[in-house]
Amino acid sequence: MPTLTGSCYCENIKYQVSLSSLDDARTSLCHCINCKKAFGTNYGLTAKMPKDTVKITKGTPKVHSADNGSGMVVNREFCDNCGSFILEYGEAAKDHFRFIVVGSLDDPEALPPKGEFFCKNRASWMPEISNVFHKTEIKE
């Protein structure tokens, strides 16, 4: 069973992901306006995985919950010491999935992207990723 570890920048928060297969994680880029703000860069990069595969092993992340503008509440968890963004989940997915911020993994290359969402909001200077799916909007 592949086990991945991750942490925030200051390592006050650490977590572990235990997947039956690396294929159970779906990494995607999201170019939506909310991801740009939340990640502080031009796209969000998260890996969707079953909730029960993710365990916080050190510390307690702070949770920020807000309507993402379309009526759906999105919960974002981050370190209240260094500010690193760790994971997110929409209210509807709360009991089933976690979207791990890929840059917080100790080996971010372990889970390469499978798709891109909200391509209509892609930065004009950024090329498409080849060999992955592309959706104009909608992140599920």
Pairing of strands 26-30, 73-78: unpaired
Determine the 3-state secondary structure of 68 from DSSP: coil
In whole angstroms, how close is the CB of 60 to Zn ion at the nearest point? 11
* Distance, CA of 31 to chain centre: 12
By C-alpha distance, which of 26, 43, 33, 37 is closest to 115? 26
Which residue in the block uniquely carries the two structure tokens 């572990």?
16
By C-alpha distance, which of 55, 51, 54 is closest to 95? 51
Closest CB to Zn ion among residues 52, 66: 66
Which token pair is 113? 């992207």
Residues 6-35 that bind Zn ion (CB under 5 A): 8, 10, 12, 30, 32, 35
Determine the 3-state secondary structure of 38 from DSSP: helix
Contact mark string toward Zn ion, 30..69, x via CB under 5 A = x-x--x--------x-------------------------
Closest CB to Zn ion among residues 29, 111: 29
Contact mark string toward Zn ion, 68..107, x via CB under 5 A = -----------x-xx-------------------------
- Number of residues near Zn ion (by CB under 5 A): 10
Residue ranges in contact with Zn ion by CB under 5 A: 8, 10, 12, 30, 32, 35, 44, 79, 81-82
